[in-house]
Amino acid sequence: MNISVIGSGTWGMALARLLFDNGHSIKVWSAIESEIKELRENRTHKNLPGVVFDEAIRFETDLEVAMEGSKICVLSVPSIFTRSTAKRMAPFYEEGQIIVNVAKGIEENTLEILTEQILDEIKNANVAVLSGPSHAEEVVRLLPTTCVAGANDLKTAELIQSVFMSPVFRVYTSTDMLGIELGGSLKNVIALAAGISDGLGYGDNAKAALITRGIVEISRLGTAMGARIETFYGLSGIGDLIVTCASKHSRNRKAGMLMGQGRTMDEAMKEVEMVVEGVYSAKAAKSLADKYNICMPIVDEVNAVLFENKDPKQAVDALMLRDRISESIAGM
């Protein structure tokens, strides 16, 4: 099958290698000409050391050429560029193409998930999502990984499953695209909190509490918005939350850790050197919580640290000293 990967970041390149190894014909596009030049000439990516990409993978700077004739377009740009990239793709979209979004985020001003943004720009597109606990650094090295493919109709989800499935990449299906995308986006905000906790020198107990109460907050908001509760107990919910809060590869955890150690938000983002999605999703998460009248204290405190210069230790103290309550998904 002909497949285009739109975006040559680490995740796009990891999926390009996976899909090529699965026997598909792959074209990769990027707006960054220097990145494409490096890939064409050396078949390497600066953020994936030791990996050499096959000569048969094509690298393009012309978006029309990149998309032409592909059954699937994997949209793998940072979430803040999803809308603008979809707008660029619209003139070249061919009827019947499936656009698989693999980024994670919520747009701050519209509060739209990424597939909604794509549909705003490419009317009547067949849009789907692939998500789960899947760091590019491990996928590109062919380490065992599981994800979930989501689409409004099961047949599309099953097609994506068959395309991506391999002995090292197991894919499940779902029709709850909203739940998948909310889980993938909101976990980045909780991972910032987990990183802050690590930066402060707190231990595994504190991180376990943040992960556990974090999934409660995510589930509480997601179900209020119409997503299915079981989605948040799955790969794009608790699975992605665990790996993003705990992994050395997690840029959100790393940024949080730096802030816990005393860096400002801007200093932490600069040091991470890649897009920290949780920073962009945090305000949207708080706005959604306010809109649906949902209690999300971890999200509130992350926003206070990021945008109100609240001391990270005081933020953790505020979580620990909240009023005594019962433990439940529905409870406050």
Catalytic (active-site) positions: 187
323 DSSP assignment: P
CA count, 13 A, side-chain hemisphere, 111: 12
CA angle 276, 318, 251 (to 5 degrees): 15
Cα dihedral 289/292/293/295 (nearest 10): -40
d(CA 153, CA 176): 10
Q: Is 36 exposed, middle or buried (CB count within 10 Å of its CB: 0-12, 13-18, 19+)? A: middle
CA angle 275, 279, 281 (to 5 degrees): 105
For residue 133, give the H/E element and its range.
none
